[in-house]
Structure formats: structure tokens, C-alpha cells
Structure 1
Amino acid sequence: MSLICYLTRVHFADRVLEDALAEELSRHGIARALIVTDEEEADSDGLDRVVCTLPPDVDHTIFIAGRGGGAGADRLRVAELLADAGCDGILGFGGMAALDLARLVSGALLPLVTIPTRTETIGIGPLGRDAFGQVGQHARLPSAILCDATLTTGAGPLATAAGGMDALIHCLECFLSTAFNPPADGIALDGLRRVAAHLEAAVQDGADLSARRELLAAALNAGLASEKGFGGIEAASHGLEAVSRSRHGVLHGALLSEILNFNSPAVSDRFHLIRMALELPARADPAERLSVLAERIGLPLRLSEIGIGPDVLPCAARRAAESPANRTNPRHATALDYERMMRAIL
């Protein structure tokens, strides 16, 4: 088992859930845990594993996000449960919605352990969207994260493709962002290499534990590198999520080529390192090659294929320009720029 202490404690190994959960509960004095999960994990074997792994002297209450009322209602209900059940710690188990909610409600005092089950997030970077619809907001870091690839094998091909593309784009944009952070650059490039090499295999064979492990490692890298900031692809995804029900990583697949080409004049001198990470020839176009990868794993390359029409683009573009991710985009992008790019891929 590897214990990584960079920003927070990260346990990374197959079946690390059984190896490290009791240790972290004891370390943080958690005797009554609130388990925050989501609909996709509510009846899963993974949730059963979490409950069975709890020490006999640790009580628990389970909250399932997304069962009515929206994110705001979830947040209020979790706060009530924490008080009513006398919980002294939180376990976030599942995908982005569960982990973000757990981070938001843990506050400054309650210890928080997160257990990701999909490769779209590991619960370190900026939040996806909070209870008030805002994006890019930072919340507290978890006290510990348990990265166990055996918990990710239940994700289907589309969820795997979207989650893997999410990790890929986060690594790519962290590397290209305007902030200066050499350690984050190295972490982002390593994550980019891992996800590009193994994403297709993980989509094709959900039981390929080696590929799943590499995707989880790439998601970890993306979370650690996110301290540096993201860019226009993330900003545009935030804008489109606010006006549609589209999945984050699916949007990334459609947006990447147009926005990467827009940013190219400002960062083309860094493309040689990206080509090395992606194992591309010296003159290859990273935007074109990544679009080919997105198409091969079943992600749409046009917004219309996702159900997004032209009427929502002005609002989405304004939100993209206002997103915190736009502040570290390598080239200044206005709402008009975002709207033009979105229309180009309708």
C-alpha cells in the first residue's frame, strides 16, 4: 500500500478500503459516521463493503444524495442528520455529487474521509457545482482519501469514458494554465500520460483492473495538480452544465478541440511536452489526436449530439467567461469568444 502525503493523506492500493478505513476512523476519532453517497452507489456492493469494513464500535447513518429537492435540499438535510444523529465525522462515498456534498457540509471541525468510486473526481480540487449553482468554488480538503481501483469497476462504458476524459482534460488544462507551479506541471503531465495510455482499454473492458488503476491514478494527479487552476474547456463545461443536464466529461470531449485550438497561439511552445506525454509524433496536432480518442471511446464531438441547442449558448458563454477556470486560461477569452466556439461545434 502507498501512503501519499501531498495536500492531504492519500491511501492508494487495491482493496485499500479494508486496509485503511479503520485506521483513518481511529486516527480522527470518528465513532459515529455519516456516510454521504449517491444514487449510483446506493445499492452497490461497494457501499456494502464500506459498511462491513466499519469497526464494530463505529455507528453509522447513510444519506443518499439526489433523491429529491436538488442540491440545496440535500445540503440542508445532511446538516440536519449530522445534528440529529450526533455524527462526529463524514465518509464521502461515490462520484462527484457525493464527494462535493460531503466536502461542503463537513465544515472546519468535522473530519472527512472520501472514497471515490469513479475516475471523474477524487475530491481534492474545485467543486463541480455547489448548492447555489456556483462552480469552481473551493471547499476544505478531506482529512484522508482512499483510492481503491476495485471500487471503480462497476462504472459502465459511458461513465468510464466521461470520467476518464474529465481526468485527461483536468491534467491538460492544469499543465497549460497561466499559474506558475512546477510540481503541479509534473504531476499533470504524468496524469495525462496515464489516462491517454489506458482510457480506451478501461472503456472496452470494465473488468480490466490494471486500466482502472491507471485511470484512478490519473484522477488523483488531476486533483493534486488542480491547485494550479484549469482553463477554457473547464470554464465552458461549467457554463453548459448550468443550462443543461449534460455530464461533465462528455462536454469535455466535445469542447476540447475548438478551445485547445483557440489557446494554441499562447501555449504552442508547450505542446512538445504534451506530445511526449501522449506519445505522439513531433508534428502531430494534440487537439486532433485527442478528438480522435474521444470519438473512439464513444463521446460525442458535437454539442447537438448531447441535446444542446443554440438558444442556451449566450447564457452558457456568459457563465463560462465568469467561471474561475477562465481566469487561468492561457489566452484571454470573453463571453463572445466562448459563444463563437460553442456555435462552431453545435
Structure 2
Amino acid sequence: MTLISIQSRIHFAAHVLEEALRAELEQAGSAHVLVLSEAAPSGSELSARVAAGLPNRGAITRVEIFAQDTKYDVSARVLADGAACKAQAIVAYGSARAIAFARKCRQEIAKQRYGAVPAQDRKTLRERSFLPDFYVIPGLDGLPDPCTTTASGRTDVKIAPPSVIICDPTILDGASEEGAASSYANTLGRCLEALVSEDFNPIADGYAVEGLQRLVLARPRPDTTRAGQNLMAASLLSALAQQKGPGALQLFTAALAGQTGRAIDAGAVRRILAPRLFGDPAMRDFAHEKVVRAILGLPQADAFAGALDKHLDPLPLARQFADMGLARDDVQAAADVLRGTARCPVPPPERLEAILEASY
């Protein structure tokens, strides 16, 4: 059985950020809001716009995320702050990292609230009912990858989607070429992962196909307003396509981050691995290859790996893992995660080893 669900309300329009955020918070009656974002220079335009959308009355608790922080550091700071734990809503904005860290904080707040309930009363309650409302405002790198843990009794908390997603393409104005390139490669990789997946979910496939089409529209001029709109749309669609479950590149990137203890550029990883992985003979029978070739303009006569690599070639991103400053041992350790997974299609061990060796 395939479960197809869209549980988040989504606002998508230029100049919608402030009004949509204010309207949503007021409608929900959120008098206490916890705001999380990456640490940024004071007076940043995006922070000012988010502040303009917050309630004029009530309590606002702000938590900044610093470069050296892990999601566990940030969630511990939030749990230690009595005011933050009382928040009725969480607003996270600006980066996938900030949204992912806020998601962790939301989980931990719900866990703490649930734990405070007398044991005899928990039988009639679910931990999910203690989640604060969650409002996210994606930046250039879009939404984070979904949680992959599904074995615990609290999976519904871990994978609970945001209450509201506010996509305002105007916040991409002035984005760097490198950032736009990373977003492009990350989005393309996510779409391909969805289309390669053997799970039957036609809605997710539709998101992925439309995501690729939007990428093509964004490609000619990544610094124009229309290109920014299409890039953000493609990024959102690729995230929605991930309801099929984690793909090989998502698992590999997460394993790299865990192994190195630092943030990993998911776009660079997907730029390096997508042509080699999806062009490998062991992965050649995915049903949507002709569709992908037609949308991206990849010649039918050319090998898929070479054609896709050529398509990505203009992007100013690393071409090898060594260029990302990654040690060979870290890459191998991340590869072990893929070798042991049954969650998504991957090449046989000997082929995967060859792919990673060529990628280093």
C-alpha cells in the first residue's frame, strides 16, 4: 500500500513572507514563539523580515545556531531554557540546517512535555499531541532531508512534517553562484532518487518530474527573479518527492556528516555521485530514464552517466571528494552504510566500491 499525504500548509508567492507568517501565528493564537536561525550579522534583511511577521504581543524567544553547534547542542540549550520549552510555536528560517535543528528541538520539547504527564495518563495520549506548531521558511538550500529513523516507538514525532511552509522567492535575491549551484545539484539528485526508487507512488514521481522541469527553467539565469522562483519551486517539489523514503545519496550524505562531525554540502555530494551512481549498469533499468533525458535534454545516444555529468559540468562545485576536503577513510565509512542498507536500490558491493574510488 502506498500512503500519499501532504500534511503541511504551503504558502508560495513573492513578498508573502511577513503577511503569511503573521496571519498563521495569529490564527493559531500563538502567544509564545521560539525563533531559531543560523547566527547572522545583526540587521540582516531576512531576520528583519521574519521579525516583522511575528506577533506584536506575546513572548518571543530567540536561539541562534553557531557553526560549531550540533543539533544536540542546540536542543540541549532549548530544553535548559524554561521559556523556550513553553513555546506554542517554533519558527525556523534561512537554511536547511536551521530547519533540521529546529525539528530536533521540536521533538525534544514534545518528549519533555509527554514525560511530565503522570504515567497513568499517558495511555490515552500520544507524544505527537505535545508538538509545538512548526513554521519553516526555507532559504536557498531548501528543506532538510527527512528523518530516516523508523524503528522507535516515537517515529510519528520524528517524521512529523512542518505545520506550515512559507516559500518566498524574494529571499533568494542576491544569492551566490555557488549556493545556487549547490541547490540545483541537490534538487536534481533528490528528483532522480525519487524516480529511481522502486516504490510505487505516482504523486511523488509527479513532484520529481515537475521538479526537473522547474530546474530547466531556472538554469539559464540563476540570478534572475524568475530563475529564483523556479529554483525554489524545484527545491520544494524535490523535498515533497522524498515521501518515497530515503535515497542512496541522502543516506550517504548523512553518513558522511556523522562520520566527519561537520556539515556536508549535499549539493556537492550529489553533483559528484549522481552521474556515476545512476549511470552505473546496475542502476540502468529505472523506468523514468527516457523522461529524465527528455526533460534535461540529455542525448539519447550518449551514455547516461556521461550525459548527466556534462549537464552538471558548468556548476562551480567540487568534482571529487578530495576537493571537498574529505578523507578517504570517511568516504569508505559512509559507503559501509550504503552496503548495509535495504532501504533503496544501490549497486552491488564491488560496483559501489569502483564508483566511490572513481569519485575520490
3-state SS of the aligned residue for 2:280? Answer: helix
1:98 correspondence with 2:98: yes
Structure 2 partner of 1:132: none
User: Cα–Cα, structure 1 residues 59 and 240, in superposed 2: closer, same or farther, change >3 Å?
Assistant: same
3-state SS of the aligned residue for 1:20? Answer: helix
Structure 2 partner of 1:276: 294
1:115 correspondence with 2:137: yes
Structure 1 partner of 2:273: 255
Structure 2 partner of 1:21: 21
User: Cα–Cα, structure 1 residues 166 and 82, in superposed 2: closer, same or farther, change >3 Å?
Assistant: farther
Letter matched to residue 149 of structure 1: P
TM-score normalised by the chain length of structure 2 = 0.82
1:294-323 CA-partner distances (Å, limit 9, x unpaired) = 320211221222222333333121123346
Letter matched to residue 51 of structure 1: A
- Matched residues in 1 for 2:66 and 2:281: separation? 36
Q: Does the 8 Å CA contact 1:275/1:284 hold for their aligned counterparts? A: no
Comparing 242-251 with 89-98, greater Cα deviation is found at 242-251
3-state SS of the aligned residue for 2:259? Answer: coil
User: Cα–Cα, structure 1 residues 288 and 90, in superposed 2: closer, same or farther, change >3 Å?
Assistant: same
Structure 2 partner of 1:220: 236
Percent identical residues: 26
- Matched residues in 2 for 1:269 and 1:10: separation? 30
User: Cα–Cα, structure 1 residues 81 and 301, in superposed 2: closer, same or farther, change >3 Å?
Assistant: same
Q: Does the 8 Å CA contact 1:197/1:278 hold for their aligned counterparts? A: no
3-state SS of the aligned residue for 1:201? Answer: coil
Higher CA-based Rg? 2
Letter matched to residue 353 of structure 2: E
Letter matched to residue 97 of structure 1: R
Structure 2 partner of 1:140: 160
Letter matched to residue 229 of structure 1: G
1:7-46 to structure 2, matched below 5 A, reads 7-39=7-39, 44-46=44-46
- Matched residues in 1 for 2:30 and 2:170: separation? 25
Structure 2 partner of 1:80: 80
1:259-338 to structure 2, matched below 5 A, reads 259-262=277-280, 265-322=283-340, 327-329=343-345, 331=346, 333-334=348-349, 337-338=351-352
Q: Does the 8 Å CA contact 1:237/1:320 hold for their aligned counterparts? A: no
User: Cα–Cα, structure 1 residues 26 and 322, in superposed 2: closer, same or farther, change >3 Å?
Assistant: farther
Unaligned runs of 5+ in 1: 130-136
Q: Does the 8 Å CA contact 1:111/1:142 hold for their aligned counterparts? A: yes
1:66 correspondence with 2:66: yes
Letter matched to residue 236 of structure 2: L
User: Cα–Cα, structure 1 residues 264 and 84, in superposed 2: closer, same or farther, change >3 Å?
Assistant: closer
Letter matched to residue 96 of structure 1: A
Alignment RMSD (CA, Å): 2.6
Structure 2 partner of 1:341: 355
TM-score normalised by the chain length of structure 1 = 0.85
Q: Does the 8 Å CA contact 1:192/1:277 hold for their aligned counterparts? A: yes
1:139 CA drift (Å): 2.8
1:147 CA drift (Å): 0.4
- Matched residues in 2 for 1:341 and 1:225: separation? 25
3-state SS of the aligned residue for 1:91? Answer: strand
1:43 CA drift (Å): 5.0
- Matched residues in 2 for 1:128 and 1:161: separation? 26
1:84-130 CA-partner distances (Å, limit 9, x unpaired) = 57322100112111101112222332111101112x3335x51499x
Comparing 62-71 with 11-20, greater Cα deviation is found at 62-71
1:182 CA drift (Å): 0.7
1:14 CA drift (Å): 0.4
1:221 CA drift (Å): 0.5
- Matched residues in 1 for 2:74 and 2:193: separation? 31
3-state SS of the aligned residue for 2:279? Answer: helix
1:193 correspondence with 2:213: yes
Q: How many residues align?
A: 325
1:237 correspondence with 2:253: yes
Q: Does the 8 Å CA contact 1:168/1:196 hold for their aligned counterparts? A: no
